[in-house]
Amino acid sequence: MKRQYPSTKETVQHKINTSFRMFINRFHADFPAHWHTDIEIICPKEAPYKIICANQTYHVEIDDIILICPAVIHEIFSPYPGTRVYIQADFSGVITLKEIDKAFRLMSPALHIKKKTCPPDIYNYLRNSIDKLMELYFGTVPSFSMQEKEVDESVISVTELEPYSELEIYAILMQFIACCAKNIDLFRESDSAPASPNFKNSISLSNVCSYISEHFTESITLESIAAHAGFSKYHFERIFSDYAGMTFYKYLLQMRINYAKRLLSNPELTVTDVSYQAGFASCTAFTRAFKKSTGYPPSQFRVLNEEKHPLSANPHFADMKL
Where along the chain do the CATH 1.10.10.60 domains lie? 197-303
* 314, β-bridge pairs: 30
Q: Which of 15 and 104 is assigned the larger pLDDT?
A: 104
Residue 322 pLDDT level (bands cut at 50, 70, 90): very low
| Domain at 197-303: CATH code | 1.10.10.60
H/E segment holding residue 256: helix 248-263
Give the Cα-Cα-Cα angle 174, 84, 306 (nearest 5 degrees). 70
Asked whether 77 and 322 are in contact (CB, 8 A), the reply is yes
Buried-state track 75-97, b at ≥16 Cβ within 10 A, e below 16 = bbbbbeebbbbebbbbbeeeeee
Check pLDDT > 80 for residue 152: no
Predicted local confidence at residue 140, as pLDDT: 79
User: Of the given ranges (4-8, 209-213, 304-308), which has the lowest mean pLDDT?
Assistant: 4-8
Within its chain, how far is the Cα of 114 from the centroid? 17
Sign of CA dihedral 118, 121, 125, 127: positive
Residues 235-248, mean pLDDT to the nearest whole number? 84
CA neighbours within 13 Å on the CB side: how many for 7? Answer: 15
CA gap 87, 131 in Å, rounded: 12
pLDDT surpassing 60 at residue 190: no
13 strand-pairing partners: 2
Q: Answer yes or no: is pLDDT of 315 > 90.
A: no
pLDDT at 37: 85
- Going by pLDDT thresholds of 50, 70 and 90, the confidence category of residue 102 is confident
- The band of 104, judged by pLDDT with boundaries at 50, 70 and 90, is confident
Please report the pLDDT score of residue 211 as a whole number.
84
What class has domain 2-187?
mainly beta
Mean pLDDT of 88-106: 77
Say if residue 297 is preceded by a cis peptide, omega within 30 of 0: no
**Ramachandran bin of 9, using left for φ above 0, alpha for ψ from -120 to 50, beta for the remaining angles:** left
pLDDT at 1 exceeding the cut of 70: no
pLDDT at 5 over 60: no
DSSP assignment, residue 305?
B
Query: Does residue 149 carry a pLDDT above 60?
Result: no
**What confidence category does residue 189 fall into, taking pLDDT thresholds of 50, 70 and 90?**
low
Mean pLDDT of 169-181: 95
| pLDDT band (50, 70, 90) for residue 17 | confident
Q: Which of 97-111, 115-129, 148-162 has the lowest mean pLDDT?
A: 148-162
Q: How far is residue 194 from each of residues 11, 13, 48, 235, 247, measured CA to CA in Å?
A: 43, 42, 28, 20, 15
- CB-CB contact of 39 with 89 (8 Å): yes
Q: Where in the chain is the domain with CATH 2.60.120.280?
A: 2-187
What is the C-alpha to C-alpha distance for residues 249 and 237, in angstroms, rounded to an integer?
10
Of the candidate ranges 41-45, 193-197, 216-220, 299-303, the one whose mean pLDDT is the lowest: 193-197
Instruction: Determine the Cα–Cα distance for residues 301 and 70; give it in Å rounded to an integer.
Output: 13
Residue 106 neighbours by CB under 8 Å, 6+ apart: 181, 184
Asked if residue 241 lies in contact with residue 209, where contact means CB atoms within 8 angstroms, the answer is no
pLDDT of residue 185: 80
Torsion angles phi and psi, residue 10, rounded to 5? -95, 140
Residue 191, pLDDT > 60, answer no
3-state secondary structure of 304: coil
Separation between Cα atoms, residue 164 and residue 294, nearest integer Å: 38
Whole-angstrom distance, CA of residue 209 vs CA of residue 60: 32
Confidence of residue 10 (pLDDT cuts 50, 70, 90): very low
pLDDT of residue 297: 94
Q: In this structure, are residues 64 and 127 in contact, taking their beta carbons and an 8 Å threshold?
A: no
- pTM score, two decimals? 0.72
Average pLDDT over residues 177-183: 92
Q: Which has the minimum average pLDDT: 49-53, 188-192, 205-209?
A: 188-192
pLDDT, averaged across the chain: 80
Q: Do 272 and 238 touch, CB atoms closer than 8 A?
A: no
pLDDT at residue 195 in the model: 42
